[in-house]
Copies of this chain bind each other. A is one copy, B any other.
Amino acid sequence: MIETLLLRLRLRDDVSEEEEAALRGVLTSTQDYPARVRIVRRGEPLERSILLLNGMMCRCKNLRNGQRQITALHVPGDFLDLHGFTLKRLDHDVMSLGASRVAFAPHDRLIKLTEDHPHLMRLLWMTTNMDAAMHREWELSLGQRSGAVRAAHLFCELHAREEVVHKNIGHTLKLPMTQAELGECLGLTVVHTNRVLKELREAGLASFTRGDLVIHDIQRLRDFADFDPAYLYLDKRPR
């Protein structure tokens, strides 16, 4: 159930058997959600955090006029709103993109965890800091990269994040979202997102069709996007 999370924590540091047991002990029930439902509403008081087990979710922020920005995408093994453990409410919504399964981590159990397992707590803290690192990379994309490069860069990011979990993912990725939603990640309108995807397709870099991303040439895509995975912190060190 938490295998993906553990795998990803162990990429960055050792996790003892005891810590693993403690982490399992934090989780209570699981729940399934269909695609496109809001899981957490901005501002509502939180008493638990949510671990994504399966599927894909996003965090999004709204402008009063209805414009939306997706600020983060989440894959299995991500704690969707672990930052809510210390913040107690969120500044954004959390919604499912594809059908998803989650597990709940009540905050009182997490508090106990911080008291009994400081090292494990630092690792969880680290995961929220890695989320922030992705936010920063997205800021760089939104502020400085062109639409096409931005899209290519996002594809590289998702590929790299997937690759650490499933070594041989080949060249295809499931992205259960519409072009409109992809545009909300990239800060582009649907129309322009469509043109940018066409450009990447015709350049032989990547094709995105109905929730399936096919990467034709990952190396050329990375070159095109000027992609450096350092910000994903894939190295193992004592923390």
Residues of A within 8 A of B (CB): 42-43, 59, 61, 63-64, 67-69, 71-72, 83, 85-88, 91-92, 111, 114-115, 118, 121-123, 125-126, 128-133, 135-140, 142-145, 184, 186-187, 226, 230-231, 233, 237, 239
Provided the pairs A86-B125, A231-B91 are in contact, do residues A136 and B187 lie with their beta carbons within 8 angstroms? no
In the complex, A187→B140 CA distance in Å?
Answer: 8
List the 4 closest A-B pairs by CB distance, nearest first. A143-B187, A135-B135, A142-B142, A86-B126
- Does B132 contact A128, Cβ atoms closer than 8 Å? yes
- Does A86 contact B187, Cβ atoms closer than 8 Å? no
Chain B residue numbers with a CB within 8 Å of A92 are 136
The residue of chain B having its C-beta at the shortest distance from the C-beta of A238 within the complex is B88
The residue of chain B having its C-beta at the shortest distance from the C-beta of A123 within the complex is B86
**A47 to B: closest C-beta gap in Å:** 12
**A21 to B: closest C-beta gap in Å:** 19
Provided the pairs A43-B230, A132-B83 are in contact, do residues A88 and B239 lie with their beta carbons within 8 angstroms? yes
In the complex, A122→B230 CA distance in Å?
Answer: 27
- Does B91 contact A136, Cβ atoms closer than 8 Å? yes
Please tell me how many copies of the chain the complex holds: 2
With A86-B122, A142-B143 given, name 10 new contacts (CB 8 A). A63-B226, A71-B135, A71-B140, A118-B121, A132-B132, A132-B135, A139-B139, A139-B142, A143-B186, A144-B187
In the complex, A33→B107 CA distance in Å?
Answer: 41
- Does A129 contact B71, Cβ atoms closer than 8 Å? no
**A49 to B: closest C-beta gap in Å:** 12
Query: What are 11 sample pairs from A and B whose C-beta atoms fall under 8 A apart?
Result: A43-B230, A63-B140, A68-B144, A69-B139, A71-B140, A87-B133, A125-B125, A128-B129, A131-B132, A135-B139, A138-B139
In the complex, A97→B217 CA distance in Å?
Answer: 41
One of B61, B114, B137, B140 near A137 (C-beta < 8 A)? B61
- Does B87 contact A233, Cβ atoms closer than 8 Å? yes
In the complex, A48→B187 CA distance in Å?
Answer: 36
